[in-house]
Amino acid sequence: MTQNRPLLVIENLHARVAETGDEILRGVDLTIREGELHALMGPNGSGKSTLAKVLTGHPAYEVTEGRVQFRGEDLLELEVDERARKGLFLAFQYPSEVPGVTIAQFLRQAKVARSGKEIGVLDFYDDLREAMRLLEVDEKFAERYVNEGFSGGEKKRNEILQMAMLTPSLAILDETDSGLDIDALKIVSGGVNRLHKELGDMGVLIITHYQRILNYITPDFVHVMVAGRIVRSGGKELAHQLEAEGYESIRGELATA
């Protein structure tokens, strides 16, 4: 069986907080191929969200060692906007409000920036209606101001709608399940599943503390991050083990290794 092409290849990645010099990532290795869905789990402070921010070029972090290839290019040499245009997407844990800008306006500008060319209004709205149909989102949603007065579930649903419109090569979902009740979690998970199936070769990296989102999204691979490194990888059964035993079992194994 032929493996799909690598999308993201991380080798021995070290990164620190630029202001304080505190090292957070201490040698991360990870490969994500086209069409694969990966889950990255770990306790608070393990470096999961830092990895997402480093990959998308957050200025608060400085890479000190290692390399990252994205679709065959040196990701670390690209500016933040270049990374987005080349197909790297981050769904934020705490999306910001953009008062006075409707979701439709925001998405059209984002899609123009991603494609590098102007998009006709009628073509854009055709694409938007199709994405909203796929995700079972009411069309009135597009006329609301971005995240203004949104519930936690609506904010996360808006992030998934952005993902549908921008059709990234790799989507990083940073604790998308944070703060969601069970109904909102099912809706957001269903959207991710439909997009992953629809887009085919899109890679997905789900960053989460808990196994519960993986009840609705089945990963191909599960990785455990502790103290800035990925210390265990496996299939979906690894997530169930963590739910049953907690992260202390992993820490204990590392301490005695």
| Confidence band for 178, pLDDT divided at 50, 70 and 90 | confident
Q: Tell me whether residue 134 is in a domain.
A: yes
Q: Tell me whether residue 132 is in a domain.
A: yes
pLDDT at 1: 41
Rounded to the nearest 10 degrees, the angle between the axes of helix 103-115 and helix 152-166 is 30
- CA distance linking residue 216 with residue 193, whole number of Å: 8
Segment 214-232 mean pLDDT: 93
Q: Tell me whether residue 156 is in a domain.
A: yes
SS3 category, 208: strand
| Confidence band for 183, pLDDT divided at 50, 70 and 90 | confident
Which of 16, 126, 128 has its CA nearest to residue 63?
16
Q: What is the share, in percent, of the chain residues with pLDDT greater than 70?
A: 96
- The CATH number of residue 13's host domain is 3.40.50.300
Q: Do the Cβ atoms of 210 and 39 come closer than 8 Å? A: no
- 166-177 residue pLDDT tens: 989 999 998 888
- 134-157 residue pLDDT tens: 888 888 999 999 988 888 888 888
Region of 231 (left: φ > 0; alpha: ψ -120 to 50; beta: rest) is alpha
Q: Tell me whether residue 166 is in a domain.
A: yes
For residue 21, the one-letter residue type is: G
pTM of the entire predicted model: 0.90
Residue 122 has pLDDT above 70, yes or no: yes
- CA distance linking residue 7 with residue 110, whole number of Å: 22
Residue 134, CB-side half-sphere exposure with 13 Å CA sphere: 22
Which of 59, 91, 84 has its CA nearest to residue 70?
84
Residue 255 has pLDDT above 70, yes or no: no
Domain that holds residue 114: 6-256
Task: Give the chain's domain count.
Answer: 1
Q: Tell me whether residue 1 is in a domain.
A: no
